């Protein structure tokens, strides 16, 4: 069971912290998924709508329904994509009848549901026989380097940071566990695939800047430190994160995508 450290209170704050990358990874997911046109979609944990927008931009969907517990995120999503249908709901108990959607998808959200296997069971319940359940989540423990370098440096200096490190908090975010979860839930033809986006910062200061405000665990942790400890973290991170000769920082942002098909009825 994960600790709910994320607040999901402000769509604006989320977009500033993660919006650039969530949009890119959503487009990579759609390239990989290669869906047919005219299908019905459920976007679980749609948040500010990154994946729903990518669905809308890359395929002619019949309908896109987004569910999320955060009203503020849903407002943000509805503003950006007025055509989508929105509802506040928890992934563990979807207010949706069985066999409703052609595809049930989710971007960067499954690890935040306290019991991901229950959410997956729900997605498999509401997808039609022959339909697809497909999800992607960051590779926090390894190639989501933007966050991993931060938490590795913090954990070197402070044992408390180890329990906040998302690589430790979210053990489902690896290909073996995803393969097992999907196969154990009865989905067929399961495939796991890496989605690799690139993150580029002109210099260390612009990388560090993203951890100096916001309500997400990494900036929250940095802001919770005293001035001296924060300076030590900044210095240690600057020494440990790889930089190019010109000072720019190029990072990999990998998400693991998984898909499976519900047995035809
Ligand atoms: C990192 S954001 C991802 C948002 C969006 N899908 C994206 O790709 O940018 C995680 C989302 O999961 C949602 N979430 C957290 N717990 C949830 C739950 N139990 N059921 C459904 N969604 C949940 C949050 O409200 C938030 O919008």
Distance between the two ends of the chain, CA-based, in angstroms? 33
In a domain, 183, yes or no: yes
What is the average pLDDT value for the chain, to the nearest integer? 95
The domain total for the chain is: 1
Read off the pLDDT of residues 209-225 as tens digits, 9 standing for 90 and up: 989 887 789 999 999 99
What's the domain range around 63? 11-261
Cα radius of gyration (the chain)? 19
* pLDDT at site 216: 85
The separation between CA 262 and the C-alpha centre of its own chain, rounded to angstroms, equals 23
pLDDT band at 265 (very low <50, low <70, confident <90, very high): confident
CATH number for the domain spanning 204: value is 3.40.50.150
* Nearest to 88, CA basis, from 107, 71, 65, 109: 71
- The answer, yes or no, to whether residue 5 has pLDDT greater than 80, is no
* Mean pLDDT score, 79-85: 95
Sign of CA dihedral 13, 63, 191, 172: positive
* Mean pLDDT score, 66-83: 95
- The answer, yes or no, to whether residue 88 has pLDDT greater than 70, is yes
Read off the pLDDT of residues 241-264 as tens digits, 9 standing for 90 and up: 999 999 999 999 999 999 999 999
Whether this model's pTM surpasses 0.85: yes
* Mean pLDDT score, 121-149: 98
Q: Is 51 in the pocket of ligand 1 (CB under 6 A)?
A: yes
In a domain, 4, yes or no: no
In a domain, 93, yes or no: yes
pLDDT band at 4 (very low <50, low <70, confident <90, very high): low
In a domain, 6, yes or no: no
Read off the pLDDT of residues 28-61 as tens digits, 9 standing for 90 and up: 999 999 999 999 999 999 999 999 999 999 999 9
Q: Is 68 in the pocket of ligand 1 (CB under 6 A)?
A: yes
Distances (CA, A) of 215 to 12, 13, 137: 11, 7, 20
Q: Is 237 in the pocket of ligand 1 (CB under 6 A)?
A: no
Read off the pLDDT of residues 94-134 as tens digits, 9 standing for 90 and up: 999 999 999 999 999 999 999 999 999 999 999 999 999 99
* Mean pLDDT score, 164-171: 95
- The answer, yes or no, to whether residue 2 has pLDDT greater than 50, is no
Residue nearest to atom 4 of ligand 1 (CA): 47
Ligand 1 center to residue 11 CA distance, Å? Answer: 11
Q: Is 50 in the pocket of ligand 1 (CB under 6 A)?
A: yes
Task: Give the Cα separation of 38 and 58 in Å (integer).
Answer: 12
In a domain, 96, yes or no: yes
In a domain, 2, yes or no: no
pLDDT > 90 fraction of the chain, expressed in percent and rounded: 89
Q: Which numbered atom of ligand 1 lies nearest the CA of 49?
A: 5
pLDDT > 70 fraction of the chain, expressed in percent and rounded: 98
Task: Give the Cα separation of 189 and 264 in Å (integer).
Answer: 12
In a domain, 64, yes or no: yes
Ligand 1 center to residue 108 CA distance, Å? Answer: 7
- The answer, yes or no, to whether residue 167 has pLDDT greater than 80, is yes
In a domain, 81, yes or no: yes
């Amino acid at each position: 069971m994960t600790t709910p450290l994320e607040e999901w209170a402000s769509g604006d704050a989320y977009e500033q912290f993660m919006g650039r990358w969530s949009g890119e990874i959503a487009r990579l997911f759609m390239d990989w998924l290669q869906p047919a046109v005219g299908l019905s979609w459920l976007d679980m944990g749609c948040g500010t709508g990154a994946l729903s927008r990518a669905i809308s931009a890359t395929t002619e969907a019949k309908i896109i329904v987004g569910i999320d517990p955060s009203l503020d995120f849903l407002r943000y999503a509805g503003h950006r994509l007025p055509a989508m249908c929105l509802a506040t709901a928890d992934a563990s108990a979807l207010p949706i009848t069985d066999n409703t959607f052609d595809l049930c998808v989710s971007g960067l959200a499954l690890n935040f549901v306290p019991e991901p296997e229950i959410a997956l069971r729900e997605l498999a319940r509401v997808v039609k026989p022959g339909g697809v359940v497909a999800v992607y989540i960051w590779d926090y423990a390894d190639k989501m380097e933007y966050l991993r370098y931060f938490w590795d440096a913090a954990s070197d200096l402070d044992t408390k940071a180890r329990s906040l490190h998302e690589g430790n908090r979210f053990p489902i975010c690896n290909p073996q566990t995803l393969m097992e979860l999907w196969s154990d839930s009865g989905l067929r033809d399961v495939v796991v695939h890496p989605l690799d986006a690139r993150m580029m910062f002109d210099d260390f200061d612009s990388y560090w800047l993203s951890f100096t405000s916001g309500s997400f665990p990494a900036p929250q942790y940095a802001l919770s430190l005293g001035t001296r400890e924060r300076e030590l973290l900044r210095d240690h991170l600057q020494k440990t994160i790889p930089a190019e000769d010109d000072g720019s920082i190029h990072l990999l942002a990998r998400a693991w995508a998984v898909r499976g098909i519900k047995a035809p009825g």
